[in-house]
Amino acid sequence: MNTFLKFQKKLELWLMYLGGALLIVLMIVISMESILRKFVNFSIPGIFEIAGQLMVGVTLLGISLVQADKEHISVDIFNDRLPKIVIKITDILIYLLGIGLTSIFAYQGFWKFIESFQTGETAMGLISIPFWPGRLIVFLAMTVLCLRFLMDLIILIFDKSKNIETESSN
**pLDDT tens readout for residues 89-124:** 999 999 999 999 999 999 999 999 999 999 999 988
Q: Which amino acid is at 99?
A: I
CA 93 – CA 105 distance, rounded (Å): 18
Q: In which band, very low, low, confident or very high, does the pLDDT at 162 lie, cut at 50, 70 and 90?
A: low
> Which residues, at least 6 apart from 3, have a Cβ–Cβ distance to it below 8 Å?
none
Q: Which residues of 69-107 are buried (b: 16+ CB within 10 A; e: fewer)?
A: eeeeeeeeeeeeeeebeeebeebeeebeebbeebbebbe
Task: Give dist(CA 50, CA 91) in Å, integer.
Answer: 38
Within 10 Å of residue 16's Cβ, how many Cβ atoms? 17
List C-alpha distances in Å: 64 to 1, 6, 40, 170.
18, 14, 41, 33
State residue 163's pLDDT score.
Answer: 55
Whole-number pLDDT of residue 88: 92
What's the pLDDT score for residue 6? 92
79-88 pLDDT, tens digit per residue, is 778 898 998 9
